[in-house]
Amino acid sequence: QVQLVESGGGLVQAGGSLRLSCAASGRTISNYAVGWFRQAPGKEREFVISIRRSGSNTYSADSVKGRFTINRDNAKNSVYLQMDSLKPEDTAVYYCAASFSGYIGTTWHGYDYWGQGTQVTVSS
């Protein structure tokens, strides 16, 4: 199975940027579609953005379109989430998740493996 570790979270002012990394080990990440989810305190985990195994297609939530992008570097066995124009409502723990079936949808249980999460806090 694949192990996922997120990094790159932190505190940023509104309007700023962060780049999250999802590093895979145990298996090559090129065999998996990857999604990012987030969970704010007291709220359910929600889909953010995803990318196919090939990297040819991405799919994002309306709330982040035009601000967040996802890309993968299979040579580095990693997937990245670039977050620009951050808003206070983007504050959450961000998780990357891998799908062996290639699922890139919005439902969290469509993904097989999860990282431990990284905290992103956006101050106003």
List per-residue pLDDT tens for the chain, 124 residues long. Answer: 899 999 999 999 999 999 999 999 999 999 999 999 999 999 999 999 999 998 889 999 999 999 999 999 989 999 999 999 999 999 999 999 999 999 999 999 999 999 999 999 999 9
What's the pLDDT at 6? 98
What's the pLDDT at 64? 97
What's the pLDDT at 56? 85
Residue 5 has what DSSP assignment?
E
